[in-house]
């Protein structure tokens, strides 16, 4: 018979192995383990704070279906900022509206979308020196700005809290 502490050690050890080697996400070219995802999001969150962005600043994320999209969606609120997800398949007019409406202080994108976003939005050349301390959001802090479908008028940005985002994941 195994003691409860022995069972706990066995479960804990299995969980730690799974977290080191399990893969929460992949794209067409690679997969990322939970441990790698933790390192990647911690690094991106620290980078965002070093650029001079502050708690509550809005960060637009315009990436396709890739590992970096997951990294960004986890790192932005981890850094205490509000994420504004943008679909790169949106029209130029829609993207320009979303960038202007959200008042994003920073954009995370890839080389495939960079020229288009530079053309559509205000200049995003802001790089500065700030603290690398990560200021994670509280449950009731705004963490995402999602845009409505715009069925009756132009799409509007609606702030959503960290709690609402976590409930969506848990549902």
Please check whether residue 123 is in contact with residue 112, taking contact to mean a CB–CB distance below 8 angstroms. Answer: no
pLDDT(12) > 70: no
Rounded Cα distance, 1 and 113, in Å: 59
Please check whether residue 99 is in contact with residue 60, taking contact to mean a CB–CB distance below 8 angstroms. Answer: yes
Q: What is the pLDDT of residue 64?
A: 87
Strand partners, 107: 60
Q: Specify the range with the lowest mean pLDDT, choosing from 61-70, 102-111, 128-137.
A: 128-137
Q: Write the pLDDT tens digit of every residue in 129-142.
A: 333 445 566 778 88
Q: Which domains does the chain have, with CATH numbers?
A: 24-170 (3.40.50.12780)
Question: Considering the entire predicted model, what is its pTM?
Answer: 0.71
Please check whether residue 26 is in contact with residue 32, taking contact to mean a CB–CB distance below 8 angstroms. Answer: yes
């Amino acid at each position: 018979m195994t003691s409860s502490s022995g069972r706990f050690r066995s479960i804990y050890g299995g969980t730690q192995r799974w977290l080191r080697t399990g893969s929460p996400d992949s794209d067409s070219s690679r997969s990322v383990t939970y441990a790698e995802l933790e390192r990647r999001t911690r690094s991106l969150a620290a980078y965002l704070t070093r650029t001079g962005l502050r708690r509550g600043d809005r960060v637009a994320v315009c990436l396709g279906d890739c590992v970096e999209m997951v990294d960004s969606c986890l790192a932005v609120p981890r850094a205490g900022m509000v994420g504004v997800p943008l679909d790169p398949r949106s029209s130029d007019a829609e993207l320009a509206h979303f960038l202007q409406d959200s008042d994003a202080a920073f954009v995370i994108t890839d080389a495939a979308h960079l020229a288009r976003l530079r053309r559509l939005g205000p200049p995003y050349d802001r790089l500065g020196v700030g603290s690398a301390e990560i200021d994670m959001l509280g449950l009731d802090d705004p963490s995402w700005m999602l845009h409505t479908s715009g069925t009756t008028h132009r799409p509007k940005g609606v702030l959503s809290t960290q709690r609402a985002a976590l409930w969506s994941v848990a549902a």
